[in-house]
């Protein structure tokens, strides 16, 4: 299906009937604690200095795959500086990741977080699915953002391993939504107590071979 025809952006003003919230201020992220909300999105443009660090990771000869678990702070900064390509331009990117890790730890009252930063040259999870974990922070620094479905466009009987007898997951292609590069999203999964069977349905976006993606995910540990 052509990406330009099938994918739309988030609605400008969610109504009370929706299960997502979005806005340009940090105060939107705690809305993930509302029972009805399964997606909270902070819409933000990325500063040029952060983009410069991200671009260095996508242009390097060797793909970046960084995984870390611990308390956000100087240890995370040091680990990032050691792992990132072209560290001389990566200071703002490191601080942005640090800020998001601190925010995740604060929001979910945990000392540690699990973090992964990866350059992706192909979709990681191209099939629509929902995670069994409680919650995950997702942001794409470069490249297309994650795609997700409003609940009204999902047939959950089609989720899981593909099988010829299963129905299509997507009820309406035009309902597919996409996060933008720079957006910070909290995705509530089926492992969230009280959200069993209602995890946000999402997938990795289709990608052009010339357009790698730099993806950060953070989980409360």
Q: Does residue 66 lie in a domain region?
A: yes
Q: Does residue 5 lie in a domain region?
A: no
Across residues 181-194, what is the average pLDDT? Answer: 97
Q: How far is CA 220 from the centre of its chain?
A: 14
Q: Does residue 205 lie in a domain region?
A: yes
Residue 2 has pLDDT above 80, yes or no: no
Q: Greater confidence, 163 or 115?
A: 115
pLDDT, tens digit, 9 for 90 and up, residues 39-77: 999 999 999 999 999 999 999 888 999 999 999 999 999
pLDDT on residue 180: 96
pLDDT, tens digit, 9 for 90 and up, residues 13-25: 344 358 999 999 9
Domain assignment of residue 107, given as a range: 45-220
Q: Does residue 82 lie in a domain region?
A: yes
CA atoms of 185 and 203, how far apart (whole Å): 13
**Domains held by the chain: number:** 1
Q: Does residue 27 lie in a domain region?
A: no
- List of residues 6+ apart from 102 with CB closer than 8 A: 72
- List of residues 6+ apart from 21 with CB closer than 8 A: 14, 28, 31, 32, 34, 37, 39, 40, 41
pLDDT on residue 6: 40
HSE-CB at 9 with a 13 A cutoff on CA atoms is 9
pLDDT, tens digit, 9 for 90 and up, residues 126-175: 899 999 999 999 999 999 999 999 999 999 999 988 888 999 999 999 99
Q: Tell me the CA distances in angstroms from 38 to 21, 45, 124, one per residue in order.
A: 9, 23, 21
CA atoms of 43 and 191, how far apart (whole Å): 25
pLDDT on residue 17: 54
Taking residue 114's Cβ as centre, other Cβ atoms within 10 Å add up to 17
Q: Does residue 33 lie in a domain region?
A: no
Q: Tell me the CA distances in angstroms from 129 to 27, 125, 166, one per residue in order.
A: 27, 8, 14
Across residues 26-45, what is the average pLDDT? Answer: 97
What CATH number does the domain containing 180 carry? 2.60.120.10
pLDDT band at 187, cuts 50/70/90?
Answer: very high
Cβ-count burial 18-28 (b if 16+ within 10 Å, e if not)? bbbbbeeeeeb
Q: Does residue 11 lie in a domain region?
A: no
Q: Does residue 31 lie in a domain region?
A: no
């Amino acid at each position: 299906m052509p990406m330009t025809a099938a994918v739309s952006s988030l609605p400008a003003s969610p109504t009370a009937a929706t299960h997502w919230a979005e806005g340009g201020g940090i105060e939107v992220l705690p809305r993930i604690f509302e029972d009805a909300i399964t997606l909270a999105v902070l819409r933000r443009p990325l500063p040029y200095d952060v983009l410069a660090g991200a671009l260095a990771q996508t242009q390097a000869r060797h793909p970046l795959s960084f995984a870390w678990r611990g308390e956000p702070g100087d240890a995370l900064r040091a680990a990032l500086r050691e792992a990132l390509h072209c560290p001389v331009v990566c200071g703002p990117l490191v601080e942005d990741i640090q800020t998001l890790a601190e925010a995740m730890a604060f929001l979910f009252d945990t000392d540690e977080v699990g973090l992964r930063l990866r350059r992706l040259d192909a979709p990681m999870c191209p099939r629509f699915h929902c995670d069994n974990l409680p919650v995950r922070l997702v942001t794409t620094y470069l490249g297309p953002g994650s795609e997700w479905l409003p609940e009204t466009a999902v047939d959950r009987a089609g989720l899981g391993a593909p099988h010829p007898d299963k129905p299509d997951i997507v009820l309406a292609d035009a309902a597919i939504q996409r996060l933008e590069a720079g957006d910070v999203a909290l995705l509530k999964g089926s492992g969230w107590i009280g959200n069993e069977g209602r995890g946000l349905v999402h997938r990795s976006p289709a990608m052009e071979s010339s357009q790698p993606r730099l993806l950060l995910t953070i989980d409360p540990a």
